[in-house]
Amino acid sequence: MRELDWGIGKSVRRSEDARLISGLGRYTDDVDLGPAAAMYIVRSPHAAARIVSVDLSQAKAAPGVLAVLSGADVAAENFAPLPSRVQRHKANGEPNFVPPYYPLAVDVAPHSGVAVVAVVAETLAQAKDAAELVEIEYDVVDAVTDTARCLDEGAPVVWEGQRDNRCFVLRLGNKAAAEAAFTRADHVVRDRLIITRMTTNSIEPRNALGHYTAKDGRYALYSSLQSPHTIQREIAGIFRQPANRFRVVAHDVGGSFGMKGSVYPEQVLVLWASRLVGQPVKWVAERSEGFLSDHQARDNISDVELALDKEGRFLALRVNTVANIGAYIALNGLHSPTNNLGGLAGVYTIPAFDVEVTGVFSHTPPTCPFRGAGRPEASYCIERIIDLAARKLKLDPAELRRRNLIPESAIPYKTGLVYTYDSGEFETVMDRCLEAADWKGFDRRRAEAEKRGKLRGIGIACVIEIAGGPQGMPMEEAVEIRFDSGGSCTIVSGSHSHGQGHETVLKQFAAQYLGLAPDQVRIVSGDTDEVAHGRGSFGSRTMMAAGTAFVTAAERVIDRGKKLAAHLLEAGENDIEFADGAFAVSGTDLKIGLSDVARASYLPARMPRGMEFGLDGKAVVTPRDATFPNGCHICEVEIDPETGVPRIVAYTVVDDVGNVMNPLLLKGQIHGGVAQGVGQALMERIAYADGQLVTGSFMDYGMPRAHDLPKFEVISHEVPTETNPLGAKGAGEAGTVGALPAVMNAVNDALYREGVPRIDMPATPGNVWAALQAAKDAVT
């Protein structure tokens, strides 16, 4: 294949798929370090309990058992707690309380499924048998799992010594300005919006393989995780040892979406156990175990108010959110409910904001980022309240949005809440989506559906998000491009893939900037011993962050290559040009390929005297700033009123993610993001009853399947950003950010015409049917 066919902007099929679909992927469970012991975790069956006593004697004597560990052993080892890296403050200004989160529960078990004892045996069956012999006496106490009850007077307090369940209070905006705007408003629309708790259910469950080698005193962790270098540093801190004593490896990863971005107890336990038993130790979560112990997501309740003037122009937005963070605080547990609140401004000219978020503890697993990490929640609040306002003012929802969109002439635009948008054509994006979705023809389609006995609704969402942030402080990424003596290229990337197709796009970069064919390029990532530094992939940052680092490293390769080429071609360095993978003397037909220069760089006879051997380029750089991908989503649903079953019949997206690197991969990212938004809107929900998880399997927890989704129409509207050399904005989370409000707006539109004032997610058939019956009963 010609290098030109692999350049930026080409719909190149993923190069990694050939090995993945043929069973040649290397996931954690595929790693073979020799005979490995198996670890099984004994978990608390109670929603909240004090641990009175733990008797391990029978378990330790069981056949095949190598070690049995409890919280007492954790305390004796002097481990540091699992870290929380985002700090917030209480209402009085004090830092938020951080509960002691250890690899095994010490003294208290604050949620069902928390790890209490680890059993290590020669086989998994032996470990499970021995686990049955562990005797734990619990003092069960009252629990609270419902977000709406966490702050009630008399609610059980999760952590002894705390006055209540408040972890932090964060306030943004201008309260006085917002109050003044509400006072003079002609219209005020308000609602309570519930965003349910959910879990990731990645295809590859969480896992960990630990190996301690006594000869060099080093630990190696093989695990399906998101940011190897971050996990390396944090685990080193837990062990209170230098980071260079730990190697963290994540080969192929079967999905992460934020859930695998934190340190988990089991990752620490397999390393510790390996040191104790003298051999590798493996743990792989069973699906039911994942439901109990994976960090979960979302789960907040927001009281939202929108003030408008008589023409329907927005004056102010007030949002008061209670965010359930669980019993412990995950590594980035306070990130999602606080870091992306700027998305509440949407793409609209809203002069004033009054925003308050209260984080609360509950007897549930910690919450963590999940695809969007607060962005879908923010967009849901503004887009749902706009639809309610349109209904009150008897305006077309698209027309109300149009009246308030930020005009192109105002860009760059400083919103009233945190962000400054550097680029965007918001009205053009909406108009293209309205046309592609045939918005004007919807009444005809609704009438046709009524003839078939169906309820049809349409929903729109104009959304924006931050990518690669925080704004003003984008994080660095590392890329190294190095050539070997045979002229082949290895790209070492600090940005780690968990299914996005980074390997393919890096090869496209190599074709675009270095003129290299894909078979000349090898990609290395996900191993802290092979990659000197990496921030990782999250927050839709890889194209802008790793792309910026790649361009910088490629420029350094070319600069050095020009010096070598000038010597080899016997020309002045200023006369050397680089294009299409070759160095040439300007104005002549003299040229030499990049790979030939690389080979020559290792030959003493061909190198200039005094010049360092080899050809490479390294860069650890940051983009100039974050980016703001934005788009318009339009969803149409049909509901069977007899059964309550909602079905998405059409879905259109027009997205501005800046310059598109690979249209095929982009559409895949949008499709996947929309699917996850649809899942939460229509079926996914973590539910508890009497403190116990009742949605602990796929029999109880709904997941979207192919037949739940229509054919998506995805259209790109490219408005390049100047914050990075590629002109790219993030894309990985865009689909979810728009889908959550678009789907729920469509469902609510269909139901409102039948007398249902509103419905919260998930709009399951049971919930929809019950809402329709309640509306009928209200009429009669």
pLDDT at 1 over 50: no
- pLDDT (mean) for 281-289: 97
Residue 298 · residue 372 · CB < 8 Å? no
Return the H-helix or E-strand segment holding 638.
strand 630-639
pLDDT band at 649 (very low <50, low <70, confident <90, very high): very high
Q: Summarize pLDDT for 310-365 with one digit per residue, the tens.
A: 999 999 999 999 999 999 999 999 999 998 999 999 999 999 999 999 999 999 99
pTM greater than 0.85: yes
CATH code 3.30.365.10 region(s) in the chain = 3-25+475-621, 372-469+626-779
In this prediction, residue 779 carries a pLDDT of 81
pLDDT at 2 over 60: no
- pLDDT (mean) for 295-321: 98
| Tokens found for residue 692 | 């116990």
pLDDT band at 496 (very low <50, low <70, confident <90, very high): confident
- pLDDT (mean) for 213-236: 96
SS3 at position 276: helix
- pLDDT (mean) for 402-409: 98
Q: Summarize pLDDT for 270-281 with one digit per residue, the tens.
A: 999 999 999 999
Residue 245 · residue 217 · CB < 8 Å? yes
Q: Tell the burial category of 747 from Cβ atoms under 10 Å away from its Cβ (0-12, 13-18, 19+).
A: buried
Q: Summarize pLDDT for 410-447 with one digit per residue, the tens.
A: 999 999 999 999 999 999 999 999 999 999 999 999 99
Name which of 136-145, 383-392, 492-501, 523-532 the model is least confident about: 492-501
pLDDT at 740 over 60: yes
pLDDT at 3 over 70: no
Give the class (CATH, top level) of 3-25+475-621: alpha beta
Q: What average pLDDT does the chain have?
A: 95
CATH code 3.90.1170.50 region(s) in the chain = 31-141+201-293
In this prediction, residue 610 carries a pLDDT of 84
First-residue to last-residue Cα distance in the chain: 70
Considering the segment(s) 372-469+626-779 as one domain, its CATH architecture is 2-Layer Sandwich (3.30)
Q: Summarize pLDDT for 115-149 with one digit per residue, the tens.
A: 999 999 999 999 999 999 999 999 999 999 999 99
**Would the CA dihedral through 332, 336, 341, 343 be positive or negative?**
positive
Q: Summarize pLDDT for 594-635 with one digit per residue, the tens.
A: 999 999 999 999 988 888 999 999 999 999 999 999 999 999
Q: Could you give the CA distance from residue 244 to residue 250 in angstroms, rounded to a whole number? A: 17
| Tokens found for residue 751 | 């139901």
Residue with more model confidence, 543 or 481: 481
Q: Could you give the CA distance from residue 385 to residue 741 in angstroms, rounded to a whole number? A: 10
Q: Could you give the CA distance from residue 684 to residue 531 in angstroms, rounded to a whole number? A: 37
**Would the CA dihedral through 517, 519, 525, 531 be positive or negative?**
negative
Q: Could you give the CA distance from residue 429 to residue 426 in angstroms, rounded to a whole number? A: 5
Over pLDDT 90: what percentage of the chain? 94
Distances in whole angstroms, Cα of residue 173 to Cα of each of 336, 416, 418:
18, 7, 8
Q: What kind of fold does domain 31-141+201-293 have according to CATH?
A: Aldehyde Oxidoreductase; domain 3 (3.90.1170)
